[in-house]
């Protein structure tokens, strides 16, 4: 039933886009206003909330000591989770993360991990025995489109704001105590998601635009000109020229977004 309603709205959205009009008057490559607030919870080692228009995402970081992977004995690691909370949209349900939430968390994870933003060796406490594991969890509180970019900004903001907890002599975290040492970020990888409706490419799609999408393409860029992740989703296609255009726009928009952190 919902599919039918969105399908009807799509025709109108597309007709307006063909005349160059977005519902909120933005240019096709323009983001909505971004508002970042740090440290909404004192219990997390780092946290940030992000509002991208009416899309609202919370990110919280907990650093926990744990065993390293056998093949990377001197490196800590990151684990990203995402919850599409039932409060965020009538389309979301309670229960364990489904494919949409899993894809979201894995794309955010990929952009950060592959850009070497975090020096995982600096998370080593004792080689082969103990490393810091960075648990980064994303909570989608209100879905007004483009959850990927909102979540990725929140993730970076929370990481940037993270301080190491105090480690006791028993190798456990001393509850509630934190050191002044910050988690260092070598790069700020920015995720840019483009939504394709017919042959139109939009940055930062609203909910209506997201629902009208034929396909989506996310590209993560770093400030020194690298690409660290791609993800194409949706049942439509991209041409290689469109991918190229998305990459060029992503470099430009990423620089703007990075200044907000």
Is residue 195 involved in binding other proteins (CB under 8 A)? no
Whether residue 180 contacts residue 152, with contact meaning beta carbons closer than 8 Å, is answered with no
Give the CA count within 13 Å in the CB-facing half-sphere of 41. Answer: 14
Which ranges of 86-190 would DSSP assign to H, the alpha helix?
Answer: 99-114, 147-160
Find the binder of other proteins among 62, 113, 160, 196 (CB under 8 A). Answer: 113
From 59-67, 105-113, 122-130, 172-180, span contacting other proteins (CB under 8 A): 105-113
Whether residue 13 contacts residue 23, with contact meaning beta carbons closer than 8 Å, is answered with yes
From 154-162, 167-175, 194-202, 229-237, span contacting other proteins (CB under 8 A): 229-237
Is residue 223 involved in binding other proteins (CB under 8 A)? no
Q: Which is nearer to other proteins, 243 or 261 (CB)?
A: 243
| Measured distance CA(187)–CA(201) in Å, rounded | 27
Shortest distance (Å) from residue 242 CB to other proteins = 8
Strand partners, 81: 137
Whether residue 44 contacts residue 151, with contact meaning beta carbons closer than 8 Å, is answered with no
| Measured distance CA(165)–CA(25) in Å, rounded | 45
From 35-43, 59-67, 99-107, 162-170, span contacting other proteins (CB under 8 A): 99-107
Q: Is 261 exposed, middle or buried (0-12, 13-18, 19+ CB in 10 A)?
A: middle
Shortest distance (Å) from residue 146 CB to other proteins = 18
Q: Which is nearer to other proteins, 49 or 193 (CB)?
A: 193
C-alpha 1 chain-centroid distance: 30
Is residue 247 involved in binding other proteins (CB under 8 A)? yes
From 21-29, 38-46, 128-136, 225-233, span contacting other proteins (CB under 8 A): 225-233
Residues near other proteins, by CB under 8 A: 3-4, 7, 99-100, 102-103, 105-106, 110, 113-116, 217, 222, 225-240, 243-244, 247-248, 251
């Amino acid at each position: 039933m919902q599919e039918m309603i969105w399908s009807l709205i799509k025709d109108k959205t597309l007709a307006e886009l063909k005349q160059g009009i977005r519902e909120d008057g933005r240019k096709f490559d323009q983001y909505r206003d971004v508002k970042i607030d740090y440290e909404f919870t004192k219990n997390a080692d780092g946290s940030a909330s992000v509002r991208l228009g009416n899309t609202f995402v919370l990110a919280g970081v907990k650093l926990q000591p744990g065993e390293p992977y056998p093949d990377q004995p001197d490196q800590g690691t990151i684990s990203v989770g995402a919850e599409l909370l039932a409060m965020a949209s009538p389309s979301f349900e309670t229960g364990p993360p489904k494919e949409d939430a899993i894809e979201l968390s894995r794309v955010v994870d990929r952009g950060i991990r592959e850009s070497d933003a975090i020096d995982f060796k600096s998370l080593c406490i004792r080689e082969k025995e103990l490393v810091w594991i960075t648990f980064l969890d994303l909570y989608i509180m209100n879905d007004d489109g483009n959850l990927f970019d909102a979540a990725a900004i929140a993730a970076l903001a929370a990481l940037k704001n993270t301080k190491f907890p105090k480690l006791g002599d028993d190798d456990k975290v001393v509850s509630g105590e934190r050191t002044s040492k910050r988690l260092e970020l070598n790069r700020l990888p920015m995720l840019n998601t483009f939504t394709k409706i017919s042959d139109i490419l939009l940055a930062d799609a609203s909910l209506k635009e997201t629902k009208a999408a034929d396909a989506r393409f996310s590209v993560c860029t770093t400030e020194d000109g690298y690409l660290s992740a791609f993800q194409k989703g949706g049942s439509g296609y991209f041409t290689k020229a469109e991918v190229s255009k998305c990459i060029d726009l992503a470099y430009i928009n990423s620089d703007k977004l990075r200044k907000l952190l």
